[in-house]
Amino acid sequence: MIWLVALLLAAPPSPAPAAVKWQTDWNTAFKMAKEQHKLVFVDYYQNRCEPCQDIEHLVIPSATVQQTLSDFVLLKLDLDRSAIPLAHRHAPPAYVIFDANERERFRIDGEHVLRADDWHQQWDVKNNINYPFYGPLDAFRATAPAFVKAAELFEAKRDLDAHFLVARAYNHLKMPEHARAAFAEAKKAADKSGNAAAAQLADAQSAYTYVIDGRADHAVELLRLLTYAPADQDTAALIWLTLGHAYEAADDRADAVDAFRRAQLLAKSGSRTSKEAIAALAHVQ
């Protein structure tokens, strides 16, 4: 089994918020999410699912969890009775966050053992009541505005900006595989529009996600390849800056200093890239 939410007894008591309201109809919930500029938190439920019952009675009533859930449009689906789009059916217990356009953004379920970068962990609610299940949900709540904004960008046909925003949000959440997938989509959108600089920026930022995986040497390898034929001088500066951070993560101080100096020389004076290169040099020297 795997799960997602609760400080429960580990947290000090807090005043109980008003009970959150759960929707039971798929279309109604997503219509509300668009109107309210929110994400949708879906609880896939089944009466014969024992873990579902445990979470229902031990986790969801927590004042801390109730407070966090209040930021989402909440949808509880009984898999035996609810009308659910086939592509979005999950075996319980499952907790999935979607944007208002039904794009899945975060999931924890009991069907698959997923990668650690998704925050999926083995669990037993009865025996591990203090397991910090709340933390991941709260972290995701903090990035929810980025995913809401991305959904609006997709609606406006600004796919390139939307994919970059999603990728950076996943980076912030330390979900590198999700970030790489979003950067890959950003690169496709950039290639489609003929934006070579944006395509290389997507490649550079995707390469850096390997630092989160603990594979800084691989990030360095990928970024060095991008330095050979940059799309323009500004892109070259950004690539060298990113490479410098990868060298720093790989404990290669000398090459980090060289990369940051190259970034500073290539960047426009007073630009954000120039300022970041100067600050990075001051840090590593």
* 280 close to 260: Cβ distance less than 8 angstroms: yes
- Radius of gyration for the chain, computed over Cα atoms and rounded to the nearest angstrom: 22
Pick the closest to residue 250 from 279, 227, 218 (CA basis). 218
Angle at 24 between CA 18 and CA 139, to 5 degrees: 55
Structure tokens at 171: 């980076």
Amino acid 39: pLDDT: 96
What are the backbone angles phi and psi of residue 105, rounded to the nearest 5°? -115, -25
If DSSP codes are grouped into helix, strand and coil, which group holds residue 94?
A: strand
Dihedral sign (CA 168, 173, 174, 180)? negative
Amino acid 15: pLDDT: 45
Element spanning 105, H or E: strand 104-109
Amino acid 110: pLDDT: 57
What are the backbone angles phi and psi of residue 265, rounded to the nearest 5°? -65, -35
Distance between start and end Cα atoms, the chain: 48
Cβ-proximal residues to 119 (8 Å cutoff; 6+ apart), any chain = 4, 108, 136, 175
Amino acid 184: pLDDT: 98
Structure tokens at 223: 């970024």
Structure tokens at 247: 């060298």
- Which runs of consecutive H residues, i.e. helices, occur in the chain? 26-36, 50-54, 63-69, 134-155, 159-172, 176-193, 196-212, 216-226, 233-249, 253-266, 272-284
Structure tokens at 135: 């933390």
Averaged pLDDT in 10-residue chunks for the chain of 285 residues: 30 50 95 96 87 78 83 92 88 89 85 36 42 64 94 97 97 93 98 97 98 96 97 97 98 97 96 96 91
Amino acid 135: pLDDT: 64
> Over the range 178-214, which residues count as b (16 or more CB within 10 Å of their CB) and which as e?
bbbbbbebbbebbeeeebeebbbbbbbbbbbbbbbee
What are the backbone angles phi and psi of residue 213, rounded to the nearest 5°? -75, -5
* 117 close to 6: Cβ distance less than 8 angstroms: no
* 66 close to 16: Cβ distance less than 8 angstroms: yes
- Domains annotated on the chain, with CATH: 8-133 (3.40.30.10), 194-284 (1.25.40.10)
What are the backbone angles phi and psi of residue 43, rounded to the nearest 5°? -105, 110
